[in-house]
Amino acid sequence: EDDAARLRGMGQALFAAITDAVPDVRLNGAAAGRLPGSLNLTFPGVAAVRLLRELPGLALSTGSACSSADGKPSRVLAAIGLDADDRASSLRICLGRNNTAAEVAYAADRIIAAVGKVREEGGAL
């Protein structure tokens, strides 16, 4: 199995696990033709910056790779029609060729728990 197919499968597994627990999560962009292992997800009403603080150690950001240091929501998400609230509720998740299925399951569990915690604590927009 080549790296692209493996990453694509892990990304699909991550999204499926999150969707099972957080049914209102949305995948931004086309489901097909995306960079393998790269997902951008909107968690409606949840401040993405709060999620970032709850999830150290995971490869997450609120913006694109080239602008991740500035902490601003993605301009690409605006270009595809997301409103300001949805952009502020979106996370970019990146998997790498060295990630394992166990790490993907761990990341899914942590993201699911963080969304629940932020919602419970009133970390909404």
Residues recognised as catalytic: 66
Cα distance from N-terminal residue to C-terminal residue, the chain: 42
Burial class (CB in 10 A: 0-12, 13-18, 19+), 19: middle
Question: d(Cα 41, Cα 91) in Å, to the nearest integer?
Answer: 5
